[in-house]
Amino acid sequence: MQSKNPKESRTILTDLVLPSETNPLNNLFGGELLARMDRAASIAARRHSRRIVVTASVNHVAFNKAIPVGSVVTVEAAVSRAFKSSMEIYIDVWVEDRESGKRTKANEAIYTFVAVDETGTPVIVPALDPETQLEKDRFQAALRRKQLSLVLAGKMKPNDATELKALFTE
C-alpha cells in the first residue's frame, strides 16, 4: 500500500459563527467547535484511507481563545500519523480579522480515527510520510499520544508504553 503525505488529507472548512451557536458571553459554544473539528478530521481521515472512518478518541482539545459571534473561523485538519488502522488527525483552528484579513490561531485539537469495513472491523491504512518540519514534529510525538490515549482508555498497560515512559525518565 503506497504511503501518502499530509497534504493529501488536508481539509479546510471555513464558516461563520452565528448567534445560535454561541454561549451566554456571545462566544462560540465549545460543543459546536468540537463538531466542526470532528467533521474536518473525519474528511481528512477519509481522504487518507479512502475507507469508512469512525472517531475513536479525542486526545486533546485546547480552547485557548474565545471566538466571538460573527467571526470567520477556519478549521484545518490533516493526518499527522497513520498506524495500522488508526490515524491521528491534528486540527488547527484559525480566526480571521475582519479588517486586515490576518489569521490568528485560536485553538487546536487532536483526534484519533479508525478505518473500518462495512461490518465495523478495523482495516489497514496507508502509512504517512511527513514532509515539513512541523509535520515531522507532529509525526514524532504521535506515538506517545497514542500510548497515552490507550493507557487512559484502559487498553494498554502503562508499563508497555515505552516511548511515553521515556518522556519522564530522559
Ligand X SMILES: CC(C)(COP(=O)(O)OP(=O)(O)OC[C@H]1O[C@@H](n2cnc3c(N)ncnc32)[C@H](O)[C@@H]1OP(=O)(O)O)[C@@H](O)C(=O)NCCC(=O)NCCS
Given the rule CB under 6 A, which residues bind ligand X?
54-57, 83-86, 112, 114, 116, 120, 122, 146, 149-150, 153, 155
In this structure, what C-alpha cell is assigned to residue 114? 479508525
Least separation in angstroms between CB 134 and ligand X: 22
The residues that bridge with 113 in the sheet, in sequence order, are 55, 87
Judged by beta carbon, residue 24 or residue 120, the one nearer ligand X is 120
Judged by beta carbon, residue 93 or residue 114, the one nearer ligand X is 114
Least separation in angstroms between CB 8 and ligand X: 18
In this structure, what C-alpha cell is assigned to residue 15? 464558516
Distances, alpha carbon 104 to alpha carbons 40, 59, 147, in Å: 19, 23, 31
Least separation in angstroms between CB 138 and ligand X: 16
Distances, alpha carbon 151 to alpha carbons 60, 81, 163, 170, in Å: 14, 19, 12, 20
Task: Report yes or no: 78 and 44 within 8 Å, Cβ to Cβ.
Answer: yes
Judged by beta carbon, residue 103 or residue 144, the one nearer ligand X is 144
Least separation in angstroms between CB 102 and ligand X: 35
